[in-house]
Amino acid sequence: MYWYPERGLGDCNMYVVEGDPTILVDPGSPRYLEGRLREMKKDGLEPEGIEIIVNTHSHPDHCGANRPLQELSGAKIMIHRGEGDHLRFSLEFGRYFGMEVPRFEVDAYLGEKVGGGETELLVLHTPGHSPGSVSLYHAGLRLLLCGDLVFEGGVGRTDFPGGSSEELLASLERISDLHLQYLLPGHGNVLRGEERIRRNFEFVKGHFF
Ligand SMILES: [Zn+2]
Ligand SMILES: [Zn+2]
C-alpha cells in the first residue's frame, strides 16, 4: 500500500494497492500527475501496471487525472453507481472553480468488492459527502480508505448538492465499528492505531453533529 500525499489545492491523497490486480485510488489533479508518476517509479510502480482506477467519489479533486492516467495505463475506471447522475454535475462544478477535468467514461460501477487476493477491498457505501461516496476496506490490514468521509480532526463537507449530514453521520457510525488500524483519508494525514482512530471518531462526532 503506497500513499502519495496531496500536493496542493484541487488535489487529494492518492493511494496505490499493489498486487494482482494493482488498484490506484483517486489519482487527484492532472496538474500533478507527472510528478506522481515519478514518485511511483521510485517505488517500482509503472503506470502500465495499474489495472483499476477507483474513485471514492466524483469530485474533481479526486478524479481530475482519471483520463490522462487511463491513457497511460489502460486501466478501468470504477465508481459507485450512486455517483452516476452526480458525476456530470460534479465535473461541471469543478470547471466552475477552475479545476481541469479531462472528460472520462466510467467503465464499470463498483460492486461489493474490488481487486482480489492481497488487494481485495470491500466496497462500503458511505454517503453523506456525496450520494455515491465509498470507503474501501482491507480486512487483512484492518485499513480503510475513506475518501472525504472523515479526516484527522474533521469530516467531509455536506453543503455541496447531494450532500447530507445525517447520511454522513450514519456512515461514520458504520465505519466506527470496524476497529481499524489504519485510516487513509482523501486529504490531510493518515491515522495509525486503533486508539487514535477511535478518539478521532469521538472528536468529530462531538464537534460536527
Ligand atoms: Zn469531495
Ligand atoms: Zn476531496
For residue 97, pLDDT beyond 90: no
| Residue 145 CA, ligand 1 centroid: distance in Å | 13
Confidence bin at 89 (pLDDT 50/70/90): confident
Cell 490506484: give the residue: 24
| Residue 57 CA, ligand 1 centroid: distance in Å | 7
| Residue 51 CA, ligand 2 centroid: distance in Å | 23
Q: What is the pLDDT of residues 152-193, one digit of tens each?
A: 999 999 998 899 999 999 999 999 999 999 999 999 999 999
Give phi and psi for 6, each to the nearest 5.
Answer: -60, 150
3-state secondary structure at position 101: coil
The predicted structure's pLDDT at residue 95: 79
In this prediction the pTM is: 0.97
Q: Of the ligands numbered here, which is closest to the C-alpha atom of 168?
A: 1
From the candidate CATH numbers 3.30.70.20, 3.60.15.10, 3.50.40.10, 2.20.25.90, the one assigned to the domain spanning 2-208? 3.60.15.10
The predicted structure's pLDDT at residue 88: 84
| Residue 173 CA, ligand 2 centroid: distance in Å | 20
CA distance 195 to 146: 18
Cell 464499470: give the residue: 108
- Percent of the chain surpassing pLDDT 70: 100
Is residue 56 exposed (0-12), middle (13-18) or buried (19+ Cβ within 10 Å)? buried
Mean pLDDT on 66-92: 93
| Residue 157 CA, ligand 1 centroid: distance in Å | 8
For residue 92, pLDDT beyond 90: no
For residue 85, pLDDT beyond 90: no
Q: Of the ligands numbered here, which is closest to the C-alpha atom of 59?
A: 1
| Residue 148 CA, ligand 2 centroid: distance in Å | 5
Lowest mean pLDDT among 30-39, 88-97, 119-128: 88-97
For residue 87, pLDDT beyond 90: no
* 198 compared with 98, residue with greater pLDDT: 198
The predicted structure's pLDDT at residue 61: 93
